[in-house]
Amino acid sequence: MKDHYGREIDYLRISVTDRCDLRCIYCMPEEGIEKQGHMSILSFEEIEEIVRAAVSLGVGKLRVTGGEPLVRKGVEKLCAALAAIDGVKELAMTTNAVRLSAMAAKLKEAGVSRLNVSLDTLKPDRYRRITRCGSLDHALQGIRAAWEQGLPVKLNCVLLGGVNDDEIESFVELTRKRPIQVRFIELMPMGEDKAGGGAFLPCSTVLERVPALRPFRPLAPEKKGVARLYALPGAAGQVGLISPLSDCFCQSCDRLRLTPDGKLKPCLHSSEEISLRGLHGEALAAAIREAVQSKPLRHPGLSQEVRSPAGRDMNQIGG
């Protein structure tokens, strides 16, 4: 599907729950969220019907996210059903990895082909402080379990000035021997008061702190993604920089986002949502096409001072 600006839209991110077993300072309120009742969360059958319609219109790449997707019971069954849809070329998941050691084999068997794992620090005390309750050990065990299953893992690290920026070098160092991608993400002004989430740091800070990083061009370039890639000379892995604020990548945006309660968001940073609940057949397809056509050229001037007009917190969208 081409949007109004000629961009090919072939990627759907599916947030399967707004609930999470962590409370990251930049993402969730400390006290958690009001649980959406089962009636307001899409059932697996409803999600599958929506995905089938999107795939029939040209979507080939799927990502299951949340909240934390692994807290939704039976998520591996949903993954298996989605991976089996004719036309699905790739099924990925974004997770905090806390429950991954028990789930990695099931996800692999279900057809999940790769994972993005959020990891903002390599220090146990700091991990607990940033996530307000999590155990770094559990997340690391989860990452190891994914590797044992042969699942490629990208690490997502949100840059939090004054909180974790003294670990930039350590994260980059992880790429020297391991064929992993460590991605630094600029803090986006979502949710309530983000003061506790650290100060905004542009991704250029990473290049200042590690001047040895060089632009990386893969031998078989993937479709242009959101990350600008760098690598240390001779390193096995890469460093990705994701800069939604300092260097917006809207011109290559290829995605739609499905919220847990059945709304399709044409843009992460817009309150526009198209409700898909209760639609079937041609009406469902028409609503998906409408979302594609209403994708804006770019987000509305996001900055550190201006809160995102997304209308929801990140745990209700999925990143």
Our finding on whether 258 is near ligand SAM (CB under 6 A) is no
**CA-CA-CA-CA torsion sign (116, 117, 122, 128):** positive
The single-letter code of the amino acid at 252 is S
- The residue with its CB nearest to ligand SAM is 319
- Among 9, 14, 16, 28, contact with ligand SF4 (rule: CB under 6 A): 28
Cα(137)–Cα(124) distance, rounded to whole angstroms?
7
Residue linked to tokens 């009636």: 39
183 binds, among ligand SAM, ligand SF4, none (CB under 5 to 8 A by kind): none
Nearer to ligand SAM, 92 or 288 (CB): 92
Site mask for ligand SAM (CB under 6 A), range 271-310, x = bound = ----------------------------------------
| 66 binds ligand SAM, rule: CB under 6 A | yes
Nearer to ligand SF4, 22 or 302 (CB): 22
Sheet architecture: strand order including 181-186: 214-215, 228-231, 238-242, 181-186, 153-159, 114-118, 90-95, 61-65, 11-15, 255-258, 263-265, 274-275
Please report whether residue 71 would count as binding ligand SF4 according to CB under 6 A: no
| Residue 24 within binding range of ligand SF4, rule CB under 6 A | yes
Contact flag: residue 235 with ligand SAM (CB under 6 A): no
Distance of closest approach, residue 44 Cβ to ligand SAM, in angstroms: 18
Interface positions, 129-188, toward ligand SAM (CB under 6 A): 156, 158, 185, 187-188
Q: How many CA atoms lie within 13 A of 195 on its CB side?
A: 1
Residue 17 engages ligand SF4 in binding (rule: CB under 6 A): no
Contact partner at residue 260 from ligand SAM, ligand SF4, none, CB < 5 to 8 Å by partner kind: none
- Which amino acid would we find at residue 111? G
Q: Using the rule CB under 6 A, is 26 a contact of ligand SAM? A: yes
User: Please, which of residues 89-148 interact with ligand SF4 by CB under 6 A?
Assistant: 96, 118
Which of 282, 305 has the CB closer to ligand SAM?
305
Sign of the dihedral defined by the CA atoms of residues 225, 230, 233, 235, in that order: negative
If binding is defined by CB under 6 A, does position 27 make contact with ligand SF4? yes
Q: How many CA atoms lie within 13 A of 276 on its CB side?
A: 35
Choose among ligand SAM, ligand SF4, none what residue 318 binds, the Cβ cut-off being 5 to 8 Å by kind: ligand SAM
Residue 121 binds ligand SAM, judged by CB under 6 A: no
Q: Which of 164, 181, 308, 315 binds ligand SF4 (CB under 6 A)?
A: 315
Give the footprint of ligand SF4 on this chain (CB under 6 A). Answer: 20, 22-24, 27-28, 66-68, 96, 118, 314-315
